[in-house]
Chain A
């Protein structure tokens, strides 16, 4: 612990991050190493190509979406604190930490996790998954034998299933309702090594 504490010094805002995200110092340390590795031009920030350089990601059908989720709107770089904050969504939900330091819900609460998942669909950020957005995800995720019209009808049907207020789109609340049977915490959880 002592050694990791000392090496935390060169990480910007380390203490604040630990407070904020619930990662341990060792986690932060390890993530920083990873960040450093990805950051090939050593600018202290990651650009899209840095992410794209991760070879396995190219084999992930929604890899590009995940990458995009790391960038807040309008920015084309991500710094270490934001990087960690995104990853913090994937920690197991901690029942004891219902509020983080600034009084918001912690990143690893089921709600925040769901929001993260939701914004993967909601590319234009209007708070709704439109049919086109859903269709796009489906297109990315489905194999090659499914024709477009079939996809469209699947999207159509999925929206109908979820759409409670008949506005032909899935709002976050509707999304949440759809997935209430799913254990979000378990589905969005990664064993972060420390």
Chain B
């Protein structure tokens, strides 16, 4: 089946390529012919009166060509991505460049010259901004700012070092006569060095995204590549003006001016970005009534910040980066959920599209005789210097950095950092910007730049993954962690924070805390709409999303079952549920058993399961199919996932992933409130019990836990906040908290089905309804202790949800029997919300 699929893909790929050949052929013909054709048409129309149709290629030529190229680039990506076994070995960026070679060859074959090139204007004004904006917008802010010092060190000092050393060494070699007769002076060499000094974010993301190195390493390389683009452009401009001035005119004053302008340009650019970012946040604060176009603002304002910085001759790249970084939080909070999704997707579409275009055109550009001026010495020496000085620079800078880092970057990290110095389109764009009048050897420089780009992107890109594996670089932690490790990692994090608090160490977290405080107090107040501030708690968002997903799946299944009646009709709904459950339980059991076996868990429950399965003979085939589907789909969403989502995060924990083509939610941590209340409740309990001489509550029966949990949504969080700095004299009034018992997040309109089970939070004062399927099926051993309440207080769960949690739940059942504590606990539960669609005890 798999093989067949691949064959299919290849076929498709070949077809697509034929199509491309056809397209470019047509295009080229059209292009070469269109002049004569135009004349012909005009003649024809003037002679024979009103034409019914005319062929007006020249009217649409430019946009048509652009659109064609976009689609061609897209098709290239499609073909490449269809062959997974290839992209596993060779990074996509390298393949795109190669397909660019092929396309370039076709164009060359048709036109006998290269008509399409990556031209700096197009690159800098139309292709680059959205990539950088996307990078800024999906920047893992915390990680970025935590490592900002190191990143800046590499981006500024490292880039200058690269530019200077490459330039000087090449000049030295030139003086030594290693490259024959070239008309390049010291300043030109420095200029060349500066344009080669930038590590390219596009290339870096494309390669590192597939490698999954650990997050610190990633942010170091990625952040550096992002910021040093700005630095490179600045350096380039400074040296460019030096070159224009000419050697003799440069004196100390000019050099000082150059250095000053470097800083002004860099910081000015960042400032412009910051201002636009804040403006954007403010703007989205009041776009409530024009929700449909609010996503557009992000792009337009981002682009404006780019252009404004460019206009003021400040660093446009830095500007748009910081615009994205700065607005993301407020914008996401201010805008409607749908707009945020739109922005995310549109951003990815644009960035991914441009990236594809850039790589394809980098390939196409190479197929051109006019840019190739071969000078072996120059090219090889440049390549050597670029690589060597990158390594030296990185090692030296990390050596400095490690003096200040708590967890030093080890040798492997350094090697990968030096090896990750991929050059890309920015270097080429700058090279293409060189002025031929001032620099005689421009073609040689462009050619060399291209070779370095190909070398780094293709060769280093391909070897990166094996290298990372071979060196056993710490990878990004993924799901292979055992549960206990996962829990333990969290314990470690919390532990560190606690110990830091106790020992009064302000090193790592102090500044961040200060900033958070300021940010919460002023920035959020100013930039976020009040409603957004309130629903800040992202737990509810997750909860909401889970429910939404469940509801969707539920409807899906209902539809495939041939009826949507249950949506309109309550009793039908329940009947459906009931039937479904019956069917479901017996069918899913075998799968679950297998699932558990796969997880290599010695499970004594398999026999129990088998017994249950045997007890119910009827198996609905249809249901079986669905269940299988559901199981497969939710294979990945297992316990690990659950833990991942719900474990509290400690202050210095930051989850992130940056990827051009996927995005995770940047999850902030807003659980402090919950933990705080829980802790306070605990202390109060133990205090009370100590005072009254009652034995402290058994460790396992965590009464307070449930209560505090339920108190979370009471909307009193803002008042509680004032106690944060307060110490243990904190007054915890029980009546208070009980009276404030209102669900903070109520049912959101537009979630689809008008079905109480899917409401995120339900009115707790609603009368207890015992749904029919509970009433009749309550034969559990814990009957009489009202286990249904516990179930009802849990997540509303659809059968599909049950699917993914099923292995857990099964084992739960068996642990349920011995531990009576859990059933005691259910007595303490607040009044249950109305019935969940599924009750786990009924199997």
A154 at the interface (CB under 8 A from B): yes
**Among the listed B482, B505, B807, which residue makes an inter-chain contact with A192, where contact means beta carbons less than 8 Å apart?**
B505
Task: Knowing A161-B483, A190-B499 are in contact, say whether A142-B805 is a contact too (CB < 8 A).
Answer: no
Contact (Cβ within 8 A) A61 B822: no
B502 at the interface (CB under 8 A from A): yes
Contact (Cβ within 8 A) B815 A156: yes
A56 at the interface (CB under 8 A from B): yes
Shortest distance between the CB of B402 and any CB in chain A (Å): 12
Given A117-B495, A158-B487; 15 other pairs, CB 8 A cutoff: A52-B727, A55-B725, A58-B675, A58-B679, A117-B492, A142-B648, A143-B647, A146-B646, A149-B822, A149-B840, A156-B815, A158-B482, A178-B485, A182-B489, A187-B492
A193 at the interface (CB under 8 A from B): yes
Contact (Cβ within 8 A) B501 A56: yes
Q: Give residues 110-144 of A contacting B (CB, 8 Å).
A: 117, 120, 123, 131-144
Once bound together, how far apart are the Cα atoms of A137 and B494, in whole Å? 12
Shortest distance between the CB of A49 and any CB in chain B (Å): 6
Q: Mark B100-112, 1 if CB is under 8 A from A, else 0.
A: 0000000000000
B726 at the interface (CB under 8 A from A): yes
Contact (Cβ within 8 A) B494 A146: no
B332 at the interface (CB under 8 A from A): no
A162 at the interface (CB under 8 A from B): yes
Once bound together, how far apart are the Cα atoms of A136 and B675, in whole Å? 14
Once bound together, how far apart are the Cα atoms of A123 and B801, in whole Å? 34
**Among the listed A56, A63, A147, A190, which residue makes an inter-chain contact with B503, where contact means beta carbons less than 8 Å apart?**
A190
Contact (Cβ within 8 A) A59 B816: no
Contact (Cβ within 8 A) A60 B790: no
Inter-chain contacts of A134 with B (CB < 8 A): 487
Q: Give residues 810-838 of B contacting A (CB, 8 Å).
A: 810-812, 815-816, 819, 822, 825
Task: Knowing A145-B795, A147-B793, A158-B484 are in contact, say whether A61-B505 is a contact too (CB < 8 A).
Answer: no
Shortest distance between the CB of B268 and any CB in chain A (Å): 34
Q: Mark A83-99, 1 if CB is under 8 A from B, else 0.
A: 00001001000000000
Q: Give residues 154-180 of A contacting B (CB, 8 Å).
A: 154, 156-158, 160-162, 166, 170, 175, 178-179
Shortest distance between the CB of A102 and any CB in chain B (Å): 23
Q: Which stretch, B72-80, B85-93, B135-143, B698-706, touches the partner chain A?
A: B698-706
Task: Knowing A149-B822, A190-B500 are in contact, say whether A58-B507 is a contact too (CB < 8 A).
Answer: no
**Among the listed B710, B712, B794, which residue makes an inter-chain contact with A147, where contact means beta carbons less than 8 Å apart?**
B794
**B interface residues (Cβ-Cβ under 8 A, vs A):** 406-407, 482-485, 487-492, 494-508, 539, 542-543, 546, 601-603, 639, 642-643, 645-648, 650-651, 671-672, 674-676, 678-680, 682-683, 699-700, 702, 705, 709-710, 712, 724-728, 730, 790-791, 793-795, 805, 807-812, 815-816, 819, 822, 825, 840
Contact (Cβ within 8 A) B489 A187: yes
Inter-chain contacts of B542 with A (CB < 8 A): 145
Closest to A188 in B: B492
Inter-chain contacts of A160 with B (CB < 8 A): 601-603
Q: Mark A1-27, 1 if CB is under 8 A from B, else 0.
A: 000000000000000000000000000
A82 at the interface (CB under 8 A from B): no
Once bound together, how far apart are the Cα atoms of A164 and B804, in whole Å? 26
Top 7 A-B residue pairs of the complex, sorted by shortest distance between their CB atoms = A147-B794, A153-B808, A34-B504, A158-B483, A153-B812, A143-B646, A144-B709
Shortest distance between the CB of B439 and any CB in chain A (Å): 49
Once bound together, how far apart are the Cα atoms of A173 and B454, in whole Å? 51
Task: Knowing A117-B495, A150-B808 are in contact, say whether A178-B507 is a contact too (CB < 8 A).
Answer: no
Shortest distance between the CB of A94 and any CB in chain B (Å): 14
A103 at the interface (CB under 8 A from B): no
Once bound together, how far apart are the Cα atoms of A136 and B744, in whole Å? 27
Contact (Cβ within 8 A) B700 A186: no
Contact (Cβ within 8 A) B505 A149: no
A148 at the interface (CB under 8 A from B): yes
Task: Knowing A143-B539, A146-B642, A158-B482 are in contact, say whether A153-B495 is a contact too (CB < 8 A).
Answer: no
Closest to A147 in B: B794
Once bound together, how far apart are the Cα atoms of A164 and B150, in whole Å? 43
Contact (Cβ within 8 A) A193 B484: no
- Give how many A-B residue pairs fall within 8 Å (CB-CB): 230
Task: Knowing A154-B643, A158-B487 are in contact, say whether A141-B709 is a contact too (CB < 8 A).
Answer: no
Contact (Cβ within 8 A) B815 A193: no
Task: Knowing A154-B808, A193-B507 are in contact, say whether A62-B488 is a contact too (CB < 8 A).
Answer: no
Contact (Cβ within 8 A) A191 B494: no
**A interface residues (Cβ-Cβ under 8 A, vs B):** 30-31, 33-34, 37-38, 49, 51-64, 66-67, 70, 87, 90, 117, 120, 123, 131-150, 152-154, 156-158, 160-162, 166, 170, 175, 178-179, 181-182, 186-193
Shortest distance between the CB of A47 and any CB in chain B (Å): 11
Inter-chain contacts of A182 with B (CB < 8 A): 485, 488-489
Contact (Cβ within 8 A) B700 A117: no
**Among the listed A38, A56, A142, A152, which residue makes an inter-chain contact with B822, where contact means beta carbons less than 8 Å apart?**
A152
Task: Knowing A66-B498, A137-B491 are in contact, say whether A31-B503 is a contact too (CB < 8 A).
Answer: yes
Contact (Cβ within 8 A) A147 B795: yes
**Among the listed B647, B699, B808, which residue makes an inter-chain contact with A141, where contact means beta carbons less than 8 Å apart?**
B647
Shortest distance between the CB of B54 and any CB in chain A (Å): 65
Task: Knowing A150-B808, A157-B601 are in contact, say whether A193-B700 is a contact too (CB < 8 A).
Answer: no
Contact (Cβ within 8 A) B700 A136: yes
Contact (Cβ within 8 A) B676 A181: no
Task: Knowing A117-B492, A179-B485, A190-B499 are in contact, say whether A150-B812 is a contact too (CB < 8 A).
Answer: yes
**Among the listed B505, B601, B726, B808, which residue makes an inter-chain contact with A190, where contact means beta carbons less than 8 Å apart?**
B505
Once bound together, how far apart are the Cα atoms of A190 and B507, in whole Å? 9
Contact (Cβ within 8 A) A161 B482: yes
Shortest distance between the CB of B365 and any CB in chain A (Å): 45
Once bound together, how far apart are the Cα atoms of A153 and B236, in whole Å? 60
Among A57, A123, A148, A192, which residue has the most Cβ atoms of chain B within 10 A?
A148
Inter-chain contacts of B505 with A (CB < 8 A): 190-193
**Among the listed A87, A131, A158, which residue makes an inter-chain contact with B499, where contact means beta carbons less than 8 Å apart?**
A87
Shortest distance between the CB of B655 and any CB in chain A (Å): 14
Shortest distance between the CB of B800 and any CB in chain A (Å): 16
Shortest distance between the CB of B430 and any CB in chain A (Å): 40
Inter-chain contacts of B499 with A (CB < 8 A): 66, 87, 90, 190
Inter-chain contacts of B602 with A (CB < 8 A): 160, 166
Contact (Cβ within 8 A) B809 A153: yes
Once bound together, how far apart are the Cα atoms of A133 and B702, in whole Å? 12
